[in-house]
Chain A
């Protein structure tokens, strides 16, 4: 018996007007797998993971997430988004709501949880990202690293099967990067299926099952972190790594 993969992209293409942003993307992510996507700026990393929860629409190929295929149907997209949490580079917390309100909004309006239940769950996840005491503050009163941890907790409150991260640490001051990465490592150790766009190679080494290297809208190379970092196969990847690792 083969287990249905959590995420499957088959021959996916995407264009912005005439610009071919994603070409021939094939990617399979099994349940519990951690995939790190890296590549030079503009190579299509964000576009790829934004196609997975249909913040962007692909034009060719098939994308299947938790057993459902993404089509033009907004309903399916809605169902998939409930199962897929996303963490953005710039946090995208809602500034008019307190931390705990940020966390209970979707559980109440999308999952139909009662307020008390949603708050209890929110507090649980906020404690887990070590930010429980700040629950009643507004996002602007928190540091960048704290805000990003709230964003992670907010996504977790929806009990997603998959988490997507789009450069979650690249808008942070250096001293805050670690606290966010630590949170992500804990999440990985609990068996969450994760796709992370990141240039934090230490994180990739520590938790990734696989590293995917993209260039000009294509997946150029794919492999276990140890192999990829020690012996990249393509010239593009070698060049990229030499820039990243100085």
Chain B
């Protein structure tokens, strides 16, 4: 009976569903402890009532906010897809900025420091990441081929390497390389130690990505190449890898973005990269939060840059697959 009632009254069901969602959002906002102060500011006559019955006031605030969100949703729905995406980004970005604004940041202090943050911090972060990414890619390629090898010794080396460097926290690896290598007589300075740790750690992760990519190419491809007389190296480089790239690039792009941010860990050994500056530049004037937020935004911008590069490369390697 309920079933036929539901089936035969689509409009009523739709409205009930909407009401349910709105009340859930309201309840969630209320539960999170929304404040009603803004209502008092916007409509002064309400202020008296608000202080008399705070609970009702907060409920009203939650309901109004839920309705505002709904109106916003409806408004965005009127736009075309491209503008919808832009609209969502814009609104969320403004909210994020309002959130930061609420910290009462000193923009003057940021303006004073940002030049140094970029010229010293960003440059160091970028070059540590870029060198590590390049080395990690080479390691991953060698590691993947080793992992596919029939030779037991080579396979053993490759599996031990990936297991160890995926198994230890990166922070630990940085300490071990920086503090441990001198113990065996090899003094290494902070930046090379950081690059070495990042390369080895990400090389281990990426070995798995490369191996999966290579294995995703059907056997017939390498057989076809072999039958034409191509050597194993030529088969890999000319036939298998170019095709495997399609599978390898998206997760590798993720790894690059992750590495960019994990490079912040080398700040623990005193490298003056972005994170180190973010922690130290604000100290003298007790402006920590300014520096941390600035550095965060810079990391974000850099990541977006990498995302764009990634999607361009993906398009290039996806080419032969479109009809």
- Contact-residue bracket for chain A: 20 to 34
In the complex, whether B234 has a CB less than 8 A from a CB of chain A is yes
B212-247 at interface with A (beta carbon < 8 Å): 220-221, 223-231, 234, 238-239, 242-243
Task: From B223, B224, B226, B321, give the contact of A93 (CB < 8 A).
Answer: B224
**Cβ–Cβ contact B323 & A78, under 8 A:** no
Within the complex, what minimum Cβ distance (angstroms) separates A56 from chain B? 10
Known: A94-B221, A96-B243. Is A53-B227 also a contact (CB below 8 A)?
yes
In the complex, whether A88 has a CB less than 8 A from a CB of chain B is yes
Within the complex, what minimum Cβ distance (angstroms) separates A233 from chain B? 34
In the complex, whether A82 has a CB less than 8 A from a CB of chain B is yes
Known: A90-B220, A92-B221, A109-B234. Is A140-B320 also a contact (CB below 8 A)?
yes
In the complex, whether A55 has a CB less than 8 A from a CB of chain B is yes
Size of the B side of the interface (Cβ < 8 Å), in residues, is 19
Residue of B nearest to A75 (CB): B231
Known: A92-B221, A96-B242. Is A81-B234 also a contact (CB below 8 A)?
no
**Cβ–Cβ contact A92 & B223, under 8 A:** yes
A220 proximity list for chain B (CB < 8 A)? none
B234 proximity list for chain A (CB < 8 A)? 109-110
Instruction: Kindly state the separation between the CA atoms of A92 and B220 in the bound complex, as whole angstroms.
Output: 6
Known: A95-B320, A96-B320, A140-B323. Is A105-B228 also a contact (CB below 8 A)?
yes
**Cβ–Cβ contact A81 & B224, under 8 A:** no
**Cβ–Cβ contact A78 & B231, under 8 A:** yes
Residue of B nearest to A140 (CB): B323
**Cβ–Cβ contact A78 & B229, under 8 A:** yes
Known: A92-B221, A140-B323. Is A105-B227 also a contact (CB below 8 A)?
no
A-B contact pairs, 22 of them (CB 8 A): A53-B227, A55-B223, A78-B229, A81-B226, A81-B229, A82-B229, A85-B227, A88-B227, A90-B220, A92-B221, A92-B223, A93-B224, A94-B224, A95-B243, A105-B230, A106-B225, A109-B230, A109-B234, A110-B228, A110-B229, A110-B234, A140-B321
Given A55-B226, A92-B223, A95-B243, list of 17 further CB < 8 A pairs? A78-B231, A85-B227, A85-B228, A90-B220, A92-B221, A92-B224, A94-B243, A96-B243, A105-B238, A106-B229, A109-B230, A110-B228, A110-B230, A110-B234, A138-B320, A141-B323, A158-B228
- The chain B residues found within 8 Å of chain A, CB to CB, are 220-221, 223-231, 234, 238-239, 242-243, 320-321, 323
The 6 closest A-B pairs by CB, nearest first: A92-B224, A106-B228, A86-B227, A81-B229, A92-B220, A110-B229
